[in-house]
Structure 1
Amino acid sequence: MEQRVQVMPDEGGVRVIVCAGDFDQDTLQPLDQACTNAANDPAVRRVIFDVTGITFADSSLLNLLIRMLHTGRLVLAGPVPPRLGRLLDLTQVRDLLPSADGIAAARTL
């Protein structure tokens, strides 16, 4: 699957980043840049990652999720795909990440 990182227009201080495809150290750069931009923008109070289209993730994506978690603004919009869910479960990170079923629900957290 072709990788896609799409940053949606901000609405009410919420930035949605739609992620699809494989994310590893060789392909993480577009998502990393989108996250850096969101973290550096004081008008963004919440960053929603739509993770439903992620087909593969390694420790590089896990590290990025943890860095974004430290901003206090990250919410995952799922459902979380099985491969990403396995990574989050094996590393015991799933319970640390605020998550919701879908973007609309994530906006309300």
Structure 2
Amino acid sequence: MEQQVRVLPDEDGVRVIVCAGDFDQDTLALLDQACTHAADDPGVRRIVLDVTQVAFADSSMLNLMVRMLHTGRLVLAGPVPEQLGWLLDLTQVRAVLPTADGIEAARAL
């Protein structure tokens, strides 16, 4: 699957970042940049990361999600794909990561 990172227009202080494809240390740059910009923007009160189309994620993406989690503004929009879910379960990050079914539900959290 071709990797893709799209940033949707902000609505009410919520920035949605849609990511698709494989994310590892060699392919994380665009997603990292989008997340960092969102975290650095004082007008963004919530960062929604749509992971429904993530085909593969390694510890590099996990590290990025944990860094964004520390901002207190990250919510995952799922459903979370099986491989990413396995990584989140293995590392016990899923237990502390706010997750919603779909973008609209994530915006509302």
After TM superposition, is the score higher than 0.5?
A: yes
Q: Secondary structure of the residue that 2:11 maps to in structure 1?
A: coil
Q: Secondary structure of the residue that 1:21 maps to in structure 2?
A: strand
Shift of residue 53, structure 1, vs aligned partner: 0.2
Shift of residue 12, structure 1, vs aligned partner: 0.4
Shift of residue 14, structure 1, vs aligned partner: 0.2
TM-score, L = length of structure 2: 0.99
- Mind listing any 5+ residue stretches in structure 1 that lack a counterpart? none
The one-letter amino acid paired with 1:91 is T
The one-letter amino acid paired with 1:33 is Q
1:41-82 alpha-carbon deviations (Å, 9 max, x no partner): 000000000000000000000000000000000000000000
Moved over 3 A (4+): none
What is the CA RMSD across the aligned residues, in angstroms?
Answer: 0.3
Aligned length: 109
What's the counterpart of residue 24 of structure 1? 24
Q: Secondary structure of the residue that 1:6 maps to in structure 2?
A: strand
- Mind listing any 5+ residue stretches in structure 2 that lack a counterpart? none
